[in-house]
Amino acid sequence: MECIQNKKNDQAEDQPAPERPKEELKLPSAAQQVKNFAGSLLNHALTGFGKADEQTFNDRLNVCVDCEFYIADIGRCSQCGCPCATKASWKSSKCPVGKW
């Protein structure tokens, strides 16, 4: 006998996830990405490689995941090109559009 809840879950998994228009989410140029990431890394180094506390990290990442600039399939920000999980874990990091 099949569990009704499992059947509902299976049906939900069959539904395609809503997608953002991918053509609008492009990374900056490679040179700009290097410049942006290097700047963040330099600040991270100059502040003693401080790590964000767990709550801050989770809050930041939740904002990223819901952000219109987040490229979900690669986990990166289309504004700066940085990997959001890495950047959110650095205490000194700042969102390029001021969301965190």
Yes or no: say if 26 and 64 are a contact pair by the CB < 8 Å rule: no
Contact pick of 36, 52, 84, 92 for ligand SF4 (by CB under 6 A): 84
Binding-site size, ligand SF4 (CB under 6 A): 12
Contact pick of 40, 44, 52, 64 for ligand SF4 (by CB under 6 A): 64
Q: Does 20 bind ligand SF4 (CB under 6 A)?
A: no
Place of tokens 């069959």: 14
Among the listed ranges 11-19, 30-38, 44-52, 65-73, the one in contact with ligand SF4 (CB under 6 A) is 65-73
Contact pick of 44, 70, 81, 90 for ligand SF4 (by CB under 6 A): 70
Query: Could you list the residues that contact ligand SF4 (CB under 6 A)?
Result: 63-64, 67, 69-70, 77, 79, 84, 95-97, 99
